[in-house]
Structure 1
Amino acid sequence: MKTKLLLILFFLIGIISLTAQDNCSKFYPMTEGVALEYTNYNKKGKVEGVSSFKVTETNTSGNTTNATMAINLKDEKGKDIYNTDYKLSCTGNMVTLDYESLLPSNMLEQYGEMDLTITGNDIEIPNDLSVGQNLNDANVSMKIDMSGISMNMTVDMVNRKVEKKESVTTPSGTYDCYVLYSENQSKMMMVNQVYPSRVWLAEGIGMVKQETYKKNGDLMASTMLTAYSK
């Protein structure tokens, strides 16, 4: 049970990296009806699951845009393992996430008496990216109190930079992308790990591809945009 919970928490960190940016329309559209499907692969290229995101509601008041995103995660057999709706808003050049809404109430019930706190700062992606550009570090922290056991997990995203531009073809189409590199320093249960990663971003779409590596550079896992509609 604890292993499954940890997998879901790592997935939540992925959600934050998918949705946090400093403008609502440049890289990640906040338009009602937009739907994206991502397929997750292990290091050997075997499908490990499919995650779907859909903007179900948006509204704008003044210079603030609010959106509701529906998330569904299926395992390699197509079985639902995670469903929720979460909120995000964009004002000027700042995106704010409702961290608490990332975790569905039925999951909290499944794990009994559990107190979860998620904090962090936004992952900034400027509108005007350029090759060689350095990006600000980011951080996500989670604290879990469950059945008398406390657990803390922190992920620091450091050494973020724009490496290059390249074209990427996936089952959903061909996209011109910026390639963003970062080193993700994970701290959990007194164990420290470093996982370098690359994200391919396309304007108006968001993440098209992601690869996570071991510290020695070997591929650990990858994610690819396999369906897109608006």
Structure 2
Amino acid sequence: MKRSFLLAFFLVTFTSVATYAQTCMGMTLKAGMGCEMITYNAKDKMTGKMTYNVSDVRRDGNNTIVKVDFESADEKGKSTQKSTLTYTCSGNELIADLSGFMQNGQNQAFKDGEVRLKTNRLVYPALSAGQTLPDGKLEADMYNNGSLMVEMTIDMTNRSVGSKESLTVPAGTFDVFKISSDMTVKSKVMGMSIPANLKVVTYRAANTLFDIRSETYNKNGKLYAYTVLSKVF
């Protein structure tokens, strides 16, 4: 797995069998809606494309469950990753379940192994300027033929919401909140620790499921990569 893709990405089935539109937290959610996002490096060179497509919207008690098919491609358009993500909208908060991204057989780097998730949660409540958001965490162990090969932990801390602003991207102009976070990535590969401390800035619209723009910086504040919303459908 390329770390740059994992960071860009980081910078998103229950009872009913029916699929239909639902409204939750100001968002109208229905199958068939989706978006395309383009990732660039610090020199503005395109490094990949990500496509999100809502495949199912269901009710489970008081919650709305949204399944999203995800596909990434490299700068030449070659598919590199396919998975299914799940979002739960409770009416007061949106919870991103990223376990689909780590599913066995869907990430080519670990197609012959097994991924065991231990912690997996990233929450977005209804946003307002000045908020402090809950920490997010993803912990996963990766095995090959029963042997532990990789231990990975991603912590999102110090998540703060700035003021609302207008942001123009290829997909249009949106009223967004700027969310700043600290990201700590700890990877232990066959006993060797590979840490990284990063700064992440995302721009989210109150009525949109996906980020409008995201930026990743190293610990010294130098831009590492960014992703912009290029198309909504």
TM class by shorter chain equals 0.7 to 0.9
Contact persistence 1:55–1:68 (CA under 8 A): yes
User: Could you tell me which of 110, 130, 133 is aligned with 2:131?
Assistant: 133
Q: Is the 8 A contact 1:165 1:178 kept in 2?
A: yes
Task: Give yes or no for contact 1:168–1:174 (8 Å, CA) kept in 2.
Answer: yes
Distance 2:223 2:115 in 1: 31
Q: Which moved more, 1:55-64 or 1:88-97?
A: 88-97
| Count of residues in correspondence between the two structures | 217
Corresponding position of 1:19: none
Q: Residue 39 of structure 1: CA displacement?
A: 0.3
Could you tell me whether the CA contact under 8 Å between 2:80 and 2:108 is conserved in 1?
Answer: no
Report what 1:216 is aligned to. 220
Which of 140, 143, 150 in structure 2 is aligned with 1:142? 140
Higher strand fraction: Structure 1 or Structure 2?
2
**What is the TM-score with the length of structure 1 in the denominator?**
0.82
Question: What is the alpha-carbon distance in structure 2 between the residues aligned to residue 109 and residue 39 of structure 1?
Answer: 21
State the distance in 1 between where 2:162 and 2:109 align. Answer: 42
Structure 2 partner of 1:183: 182
Partner of 1:203: 206
- What SS class does the counterpart of residue 102 from structure 1 fall into? helix
Where does 1:50-199 land on structure 2 (aligned, <5 Å)?
Answer: 50-91=49-90, 93=92, 95=94, 99-103=98-102, 106-107=105-106, 111=110, 113-130=112-129, 132-147=130-145, 148-189=147-188, 190-199=193-202
RMSD: 2.6
Instruction: Tell me the CA shift for residue 187 of structure 1.
Output: 1.1
1:228 and 2:226 are equivalent in the alignment: no
User: Contact conserved, 1:27 with 1:202, CA < 8 A, in 2?
Assistant: no
Superposed CA offset, 1:63-95 (max 9, x none): 122222111111000111112233343345465
Amino acid at match of 1:58: V
Partner of 1:21: none
User: What's the CA shift string for 1:18-53, capped at 9, x where partnerless?
Assistant: xxxxxx733765322211110000110100000000
- Structure 1 stretch 111-120 or stretch 90-99: which is displaced more? 90-99
Shift of 1:12: 5.7
Q: Which amino acid aligns with 2:195?
A: N
Instruction: Identify unmatched segments of 5+ residues in structure 1.
Output: 16-23
Cα distance in 1 for partners of 2:62, 2:43 equals: 45
Provide the identity percentage: 25
Could you tell me how far apart the structure 2 residues matched to 1:162 and 1:84 are?
29
Question: 1 or 2, which has the higher helix percentage?
Answer: 1
Question: Structure 1 44/192 Cα, relative in aligned 2: closer, same or farther at 3 Å?
Answer: same
Please tell me whether the aligned partners of residues 39 and 226 of structure 2 are also in contact (alpha carbons under 8 angstroms): yes
Q: How far is the alpha carbon of 1:129 from its aligned partner?
A: 1.2
Cα displacement string for residues 122-166 of structure 1 (whole angstroms, at most 9, x for unaligned residues): 322221412x32222221111111243421111111111112322
